[in-house]
């Protein structure tokens, strides 16, 4: 028996909205719960799926709130909340992401991300990143706090912020800030303090390496 996952999803989200309205003092009627079902349902138009809260699609899916998004191709949402998986690109403008996985690029522009993994580029622009991994390309954060960055085949990078652990295959780099541990073939920091560098140091400007396990590139 085939189960319509979008119908189940819409029912759950409609119930959540219904209960939330009651929690804030509104007294919704059962008819309003029924009316919420088409509002919460992910509608397929052409080859794309459009929804308010997310849902499931074999093609692309576009949502205002990405509570759960599961797409065969690209998954896109304005505010990410819990779970996003895409066969292609996974993109969030802002929000809190517990899990984001992409067959191509995974991107979050502003927010908090617990776990981000991409076959290609994994990127967070501004925010807090707990775990970030790129399988075939690079992992990067522009501004923020990163606890763990890993690239299996290429580079990891943070432009400005605090990085706890950077584990790159070729290069691990930070522009300005504090990094506790960098591990790669070549490690670099433009300005700041790096407490542990396991790789060939290629530091610039005002870097203070506390522990470096190899000779500098330019030595």
Share of the chain above pLDDT 90, in %: 72
Give the three-class secondary structure for 214. Answer: coil
Per-residue pLDDT averaged across 84-91, rounded? Answer: 97
Instruction: Please state the pTM of the whole predicted model.
Output: 0.86
Residue with tokens 């530091």: 203
Q: Mean pLDDT of all residues in the chain?
A: 89
In the chain, where the domains are located: 124-219
Distances (CA, A) of 2 to 5, 72, 90: 9, 18, 27
- Name the residue with higher pLDDT: 107 or 33: 107
Distances (CA, A) of 132 to 23, 167, 168: 36, 10, 11
């Amino acid at each position: 028996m085939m189960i319509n996952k979008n119908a189940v999803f819409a029912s759950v989200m409609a119930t959540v909205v219904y209960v939330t309205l009651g929690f804030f003092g509104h007294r919704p009627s059962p008819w309003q719960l029924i009316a919420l079902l088409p509002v919460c349902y992910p509608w397929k138009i052409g080859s794309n799926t459009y929804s308010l809260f997310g849902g499931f699609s074999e093609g692309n899916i576009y949502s205002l709130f990405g509570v759960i998004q599961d797409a065969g191709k690209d998954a896109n949402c304005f505010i990410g909340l819990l779970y996003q998986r895409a066969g292609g690109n996974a993109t969030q403008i802002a929000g809190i992401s517990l899990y984001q996985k992409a067959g191509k690029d995974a991107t979050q522009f502003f927010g908090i991300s617990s776990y981000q993994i991409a076959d290609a580029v994994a990127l967070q622009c501004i925010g807090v990143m707990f775990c970030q991994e790129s399988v075939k390309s690079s992992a990067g954060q522009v501004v923020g706090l990163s606890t763990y960055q890993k690239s299996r085949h290429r580079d990891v990078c943070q432009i400005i912020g605090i990085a706890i652990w950077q584990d790159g295959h070729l290069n691990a780099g930070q522009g300005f800030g504090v990094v506790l541990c960098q591990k790669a073939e070549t490690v670099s920091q433009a300005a700041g303090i790096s407490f542990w560098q396991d790789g060939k140091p290629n530091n610039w400007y005002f870097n203070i390496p506390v522990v470096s396990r190899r000779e500098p590139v330019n030595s």
